[in-house]
């Protein structure tokens, strides 16, 4: 059973690696997308990601209530955008309950994508600092429940936990 967290910086290859790992899963593959197409650039980015997935995945669009989705063979992409959506909708205090419920469901396979916030500067803005604190907490919660954690660096996977490398 795959329980994988993929973390790393922006454009480090996280989503591509998630798709690569999901190719090995048998059965229907589900993609839980958290992005909201709030402008033209984001619309184009979402379309690009859909094309990359092709018809192999059933796409579920859910910006906030990820806890309502219990599918097997699931990629959640991504926690970073999900947390942003919680802040935008002023539901950021609910992150822990939503995520605990999401993680408590036993799935055949799950791959979760997030950004690593522990390698950057401390933001000057108090809201950005709170966002980083909550995202770091979410990442730690997820990592502790996974059997494999991979850090992507320049398109290369580095095993932090589990794996065969």
Q: What is the pLDDT of residue 157?
A: 97
Q: Which residues contact 86 (CB under 8 A, 6 or more apart)?
A: 64, 92, 94, 95, 98, 134
pTM: 0.94
pLDDT tens, position by position, 11-48: 999 999 999 999 999 999 999 999 999 899 989 988 98
pLDDT tens, position by position, 88-98: 999 999 999 99
> Token digits for 162?
């589990």
- Active-site residue list: 49
Beta pairing, strands 3-8 & 148-153: parallel
Confidence class for position 164, pLDDT limits 50, 70, 90? low
pLDDT tens, position by position, 67-78: 999 999 999 999
Q: What is the pLDDT of residue 106?
A: 80
Confidence class for position 52, pLDDT limits 50, 70, 90? confident
Contact predicate 114/5, CB 8 Å: yes
Confidence class for position 163, pLDDT limits 50, 70, 90? confident
pLDDT tens, position by position, 108-140: 999 999 999 978 788 899 999 999 999 999 999
- List the domains of the chain with CATH numbers: 3-159 (3.40.50.300)
- Mark out the alpha helices in the chain (DSSP H runs): 14-22, 40-53, 79-88, 95-104, 126-145
Is the pLDDT at 165 greater than 60? The verdict is no
Phi (first) and psi of residue 16, to 5 degrees = -65, -40
């Amino acid at each position: 059973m795959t329980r994988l967290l993929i973390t790393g910086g922006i454009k480090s290859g996280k989503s591509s690696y998630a798709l690569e790992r999901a190719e090995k899963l048998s059965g229907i593959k589900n993609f839980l997308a958290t992005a909201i197409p709030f402008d033209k650039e984001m619309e184009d980015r979402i379309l690009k990601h859909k094309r990359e997935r092709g018809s192999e995945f059933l796409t579920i669009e859910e910006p906030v209530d990820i806890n309502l989705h219990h599918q097997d063979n699931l990629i959640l992409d991504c926690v970073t955008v999900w947390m942003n959506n919680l802040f935008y909708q002023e539901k950021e205090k609910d992150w822990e309950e939503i995520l605990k419920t999401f993680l408590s469901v036993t799935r055949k396979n799950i791959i979760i994508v997030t950004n690593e916030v522990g390698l950057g500067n401390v933001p000057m803005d108090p809201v950005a600092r709170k966002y980083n604190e909550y995202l770091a907490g979410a990442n730690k919660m997820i990592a502790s429940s996974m059997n494999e954690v991979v850090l992507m660096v320049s398109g290369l996977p580095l095993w932090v936990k589990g794996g065969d490398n």
